[in-house]
Every structure is written in C-alpha cells, then in structure tokens.
Amino acid sequence: MQFASLYPLVYRILKPTFPKCLWCGNPNSKAIALTFDDGPHPQYTPELLAVLDRYNIKASFFWLGVCVNRNPAIAKTICDRGHWIGLHSYDHRNFPMLSPTELQQSLEKTQAAIHSACNLQPSQVRDVRPPNGFFTPETLKLLHQWNYRPVMWSVVPEDWVRPGVATVVQRVLQQVQNGSLIVLHDGACGGQDVAATASSLIPQLLQQGYQFVTVDTLWQQAALR
C-alpha cells in the first residue's frame, strides 16, 4: 500500500507538534534542500553524484553506518565534494523499537564509521533522521540530551516504492515551496531511479528559481527567524 497522498497531511500535523525538529527552512526564502537517505550505495550513489556535479548542487546525505563501512571510498568522495552528512542509524532499525542504550550505540557506531571513512569528528555529524520517520517524544528527548539535531521532512514523494520517475518528479513539483526539505533515497530501496529523478527534477526546480542548500543552512535560517 502506498501512502504518498498522506504525507502532506502528516507533515501539517507533526510540524507544529514537534517544533524542535527541522521540518523545513524559511518560508520567505527560495532556498530548499535535497536530501538522500539509506546510502551510500556502490552503484546508485555514484550515479547520483554525477548529476549533482553536473548542476553544481550541494545536497545532504543521511547515512546508514553499515553502508558507510561497506563503501568507505564513496562516502569519502561525497564528503570531499562538500555535501552535508547526517545520520540515519547504523542498520535502519526503527528508533522506538530500540532501548536508549541501543539507540545511542547505533548513532555512535555510525559516527565512528563516518570518522573512519571521512575523518569527520562525531561533533561534526550530529543531524539525525529517524528511519521511516518513526519517533516518539522520548526519542526526541534523548536526541536532544545527546546533542543531536533531529531532521525530518516536508516533501516525501515515496520514491522507495518505485512508482516511476515521472510520478516522483510530479509529486515533488506539486508540493515544493519555499524552504522545502525534500526526501529521496539512494540506497537499495528506491536508489535504482534516484539519478534519473534528480536529473529530471533539478533543472525544473532551478527554472522555478529555487536555490539548493544543505540541511545545515536550513538550520541556520531557522535560527534567524
């Protein structure tokens, strides 16, 4: 079952309920963020990077620690090209299913994998997107207690079920607005189409006057509001 039509409603409900998460950027700015979950992948991520390079776009990647350990050279390439790096857990287990100790270990193992591949210190990688978007108030309390920054989304085209590139692009274009935080996937689920999706989507968004920024920039803009 697909739930793409429900995500805008879920966003409108959750955003005011959990204001300490990053859901979007400044509604008065044409700055938007392209974010990619579940990588790095040995095939799909390099294909995506070629598209981002073509348009000189800086994106934000939320990594699984297990995938970083499997593909350290690709992780380093992403980092070296100036993209923003965040955490998506070690192995994509839903946060509410983990004990506090297991959750902390999952994040720290992912930071360690990133440090080994990219030489980024743990303090430099503290943005966290929960797998599947699942979290509880207790989850957020722990993340803040451990000095992580929870990052959510405002545009979810459900690309991981592979409805087709044209459908994913259409969903994004219908929902995008100033400050949008767009979620796509470059991992095993959905990554097959990510380069084609980005190749179609980016020029259309540029034509509409949007500027691509990283999640860190959206945080900075949010702090200034």
Supply the residues annotated as catalytic.
37, 185
Q: What's the rounded Cα separation, in Å, for the pair 75 and 68?
A: 6
C-alpha distance from residue 8 to each of 41, 161, 194, 195 (Å): 28, 17, 21, 24
- Number of helices (H), then strands (E), belonging to the chain: the values are 9, 7
Measured at the alpha carbon of residue 25, what is the angle toward residues 154 and 219, in degrees to the nearest 5? 115
3-state secondary structure of 110: helix
Nearest to 124 by CA among 144, 149, 106: 149
C-alpha distance from residue 177 to each of 25, 31, 158, 190 (Å): 10, 9, 18, 23
Asked whether the bond before 40 is cis by omega within 30 degrees of 0, the reply is yes
